[in-house]
Structure 1
Amino acid sequence: MARRRQLYEGKAKILFEGPEPGTLVQYFKDDATAGNGAKKGVITGKGVLNNRISEYLMLRLQEIGIPTHFVRRLNMREQLIREVEIIPLEVVVRNVAAGSLATRLGIAEGTRLPRSIIEYYYKNDALNDPMVSEEHITCFGWANTADLDDIVALALRINDFLCGLLLGVGITLVDFKLEFGRLWENDEMRIILADEISPDNCRLWDSKTNEKMDKDRFRRDLGKVEEGYQEVARRLGILPEAGSRDLKGPEVMQ
């Protein structure tokens, strides 16, 4: 494995220095967490499946003009991405009541919302990623009004496209989390989609039975977690050729 300098390690991914200026290598781990790290475990093959699923969805989004950080997949667990200045917000798009929304507002899980809702959460593990408003965001300088306009427009377009794509394979997109970054090219800046789109940050239910095929199977101890991720990949037609076998990451430079 190539020796690369590790720049960051999160709960589900590791970022390494890229082969060219302005690029990074994103490595997908099998580690799983819930409750902001309170619950930890390993979902065998998750990193391989998430790499493939996120690659597929990012490429499909690029086809309709959504700018993303994705460049290309390098191997079963790694992809080359553009280096961006991450905006410290988790942008959650909700189509069906589930998770914290159902709990906070006392809405029965599975209730279809009158329209899609966008929520913002401040990315800060120490504070448990608190929910924030546009007032907080602009006041503290995490993003300005123009940035938020771009983020909302992109999030709604992504939601519309993914809802249709997934419904076509029998999956309901209940809700999902997006992250965005600022890409600087010379003196020009634009907001682009970053992070990943996978069963780790989407709630995906079977359209007929409402069976969960995402990380809620891990969060709620429902069992058959790996099978849920595999089913999403199978329906999208992108199961890895050799299955989700393990692949070691690059050797880290000390």
Structure 2
Amino acid sequence: MELKYTGKTKNVYKLEDGNYLLQFKDDVTGVDGVFDPGANSVGLTLEGAGRAGLRLTKYFFEILNEKGIPTHYIDANIEDATMTVKPAEVFGKGLEVICRYRAVGSFLRRYGLYAKEGQPLDAFVEVTLKDDLREDPPISEDALDMLGILTKAEYQQLKSLTQQIGNVVKEELAKKGIELYDIKFEFGRVGEDKQIVLIDEISGGNMRAYKDGEYIEPLELEKMFL
């Protein structure tokens, strides 16, 4: 195995067969020791967070694969906290795509003049550049196209997939009485036909979920859900 990338919450290795192995860590993003899925730095280490994140990821990716929604997922080993995936090419230097169902976090910080905290949103899709130096700035469809990061047709595909996948996660959580407020995804291009697929993970560390109006920590979410 060849180490290709050391990330905040996982390491990426290249396997001999050309696929990749993601090693999930116990580090989660946050500020001053408080978890925040939108933060640009590791805020804290939660023992068991890696395996918990992988359990949820495996659960959701397998549901998406059953539904015919394209992902890079091949299989997962919970004991080793690893996931085998197809090689994918990211957009530019990486994009994050957020699907929002309620006004919280950075959405509220930016649009607080108009938005009320917890206000319902209709699966609002927001794209940000992965750029720690500039604090992951939001970017519009036109700018993505003009800067050659993705075409307008690809943007529409990305938006549609984001809402589709977000709704699958939202419906699954709702079965346990849990409400999804927002969720962050990453996408890439796979294969010779450059198919756009979901990559990375779907875990408590990538979403804000609430039960009876109370925020659920990532590790608690995994226990409650699975």
So what's the TM-score if we normalise by structure 2?
0.89
Which residue is 1:235 aligned to?
224
C-alpha separation in 2, matches of 1:116 and 1:104: 17
Q: Give the Å deviation of 1:164.
A: 1.1
C-alpha separation in 1, matches of 2:123 and 2:108: 14
SS in 1 for 2:167: helix
1:51 equivalent to 2:62? Answer no
1:81 equivalent to 2:85? Answer yes
Which residue is 1:241 aligned to?
none
SS in 1 for 2:173: helix
1:164 equivalent to 2:171? Answer yes
Q: Give the Å deviation of 1:102.
A: 1.3
C-alpha separation in 1, matches of 2:70 and 2:152: 19
For the Cα contact (< 8 Å) 2:3–2:12, is it kept in 1? yes
Which residue is 2:36 aligned to?
none
User: After superposition, what is the alpha-carbon deviation per residue over 1:96-124, rounded to whole angstroms, capped at 9, x for unaligned?
Assistant: 111011121113322212x2211110111
Letter in 1 for 2:96: E
Report 1 or 2 for greater relative contact order, CA contacts < 8 Å, sequence distance ≥ 6. Answer: 1
Larger radius of gyration: 1
Identical pairs, percent: 31
2:4 equivalent among 2, 7, 17: 7
C-alpha separation in 1, matches of 2:27 and 2:172: 28
Q: Give the Å deviation of 1:14.
A: 0.3
User: After superposition, what is the alpha-carbon deviation per residue over 1:51-110, rounded to whole angstroms, capped at 9, x for unaligned?
Assistant: 111111111111111110110003421010111001221111100111011121113322
Q: Give the Å deviation of 1:182.
A: 0.3
Q: 1:181 to 1:98 in 2, by over 3 A?
A: same
Gaps of 5+ in 1: 214-227, 238-254
C-alpha separation in 1, matches of 2:21 and 2:16: 8
SS in 1 for 2:214: coil
Runs of 4+ in 1 over 6 A off after TM superposition: none
Letter in 1 for 2:209: L
Give the CA RMSD over aligned residues.
1.4
Q: Give the Å deviation of 1:229.
A: 2.9
1:143 equivalent to 2:132? Answer no
So what's the TM-score if we normalise by structure 1?
0.80
Please give the residue correspondences for 1:213-252 in structure 2 after superposition, counting only pairs within 5 Å: 213=216, 228-237=217-226
Matched residue count: 213
Which residue is 1:197 aligned to?
202
For the Cα contact (< 8 Å) 2:188–2:198, is it kept in 1? yes
Q: Give the Å deviation of 1:136.
A: 1.1
Which residue is 2:65 aligned to?
62
Which residue is 1:26 aligned to?
22
